A and B are shown apart, each in its own frame.
Chain A
């Protein structure tokens, strides 16, 4: 049990490259927020951002963990991955910027909207990355 009864923690593993399981953690987080009776609009924004970030980990990293910190004020979701990292975060934040090959773009991915879209949906977003080691993305949503 948690020492702080007003806060709950959850962890989900994400397997790099396994798209068939991508979205599992987002669905679980969605369930939690529904059980908490959070406003549907907030749930929608959270899940959209969360799903995008989860797919990012699957698409780019080798492995990752999602840490969820939930209380009645807010939910913080941290996506910590081991992967190639992002060399230029500012550039990655620009809408339309993408490192995806034309082949990937043809499949409907890699439009360069991932991070900007997460930022747009989240109330707060923090990102840090070390090339060759991995990326940590944290989004916070206010629930009230």
Chain B
């Protein structure tokens, strides 16, 4: 257990946590327990999907980000923005306005992440041709999904498409371009404006890759608030600074991070599935069948994909609508001046980008096993089964584990006691094996002293 596999961007603030167990009940990998009145995270089980963040009623879970002022440590300050940022604002706010305010805030360059998708799309198609026997190939776009597969579906790690996501390609390109224009490496600060926690975790400890071209991560809600406040206060950005040539995205690039953004571009039979419980249900079924004739799977942890990221501010359905509308408008206006600019410029770097597009093998990190040693695991399995016979199977969560089965496993692994179960407590009290005072103490240990304090009585 000592080995820590993942960096987590989600942090639990003990001093704020009220031990309500909402997070425990929504966690799709059962990574959370309640102990001493506080939520506790099992690091290696967590995949950074952010469900807990959304469920927390008191804001005890935060998403760690870099301090905004860090951007001023660099001479060249690049904001790497995913297109969903543009979908956060009301329709009357134009893309240029948003970009302009970002410049005012201090960024010297603004570059859309999705510019990385053109090169990636070609590379993915080539990859699919070469690895067609490993059907279905699974996109690595969503880092929460990559981690989910590592911990819950380790047998599918071989199906992952081992190519960098658009974010890393865009970052490599922009750094290289600035270097070639004479900038020094240490003067370049590339900051990603993230819609979710999983992307942060992936930047801080990329799966299957050791280094990152990204210097820091800033949460999208933070940027949204900055931009929106600035606009509300009259900084329209319209004449504040001259914009560099417009790097307009193509419609398919604008839509890449939405559901079906990838699957609609891939050859053969492709499926797109969003929302992590849907993904789990699907993969659970898929693991059973040997031959599926699905060629490509686009899997995203959030409902409506990145438009539903936990750090977005807008309603995800409106965001999707706006982005689709924006994509339609681009279609009508093409060809636009700047369009050829970035495409041509990235073409120059095609070989460089393609040389670095591969990531290392993604290793399975199964968290299902009861023990490394099979003999021990079998004994524990037996124990779980025996314990389950006496547990009530109501999954009330009062023991501090999310389900009866999770409690049984916790007990078998020495992390909990059978008396944590309130049904067992009642039974034991009846038989005089446990005093009512003792059982109260047990509940206090799990839920904290305060919950039994004198709030009313």
Contacts and interface: CB of A to CB of B under 8 A. Distances in A.
Q: How big is chain B's contact interface, by range?
A: 20 to 34
Interface string A31-44: 11011111010011
B219 to A, nearest CB: 35
B261 interface: no
A121 to B, nearest CB: 8
Interface stretch (B163-171, B322-330, B366-374): B366-374
Given A1-B386, A143-B374, A36 B369 contact: yes
A26 B381 contact: no
Contact of A37 (B155, B374, B385, B386): B374
B126 interface: no
A36 B289 contact: no
Interface in A1-58: 1-2, 5-6, 8, 23, 26-27, 30-32, 34-38, 40, 43-44, 47-48, 51-52
A71 B378 contact: yes
Interface string B15-52: 00000000000000000000000000000000000000
Given A8-B382, A36-B381, A72-B378, A30 B287 contact: yes
A133 to B, nearest CB: 28
B284 A8 contact: no
A70 interface: yes
B287 A38 contact: no
Contact of A8 (B371, B374, B375, B385): B385
A70 B290 CA distance: 23
Contact of A51 (B289, B371, B375): B289
B289 A48 contact: yes
A34 B378 CA distance: 11
Which of B154, B288, B364, B379 has the largest count of A CB atoms less than 10 A from its CB? B288
B5 to A, nearest CB: 16
Interface of B: 154-155, 284-285, 287-290, 364, 366, 368-375, 377-382, 385-386
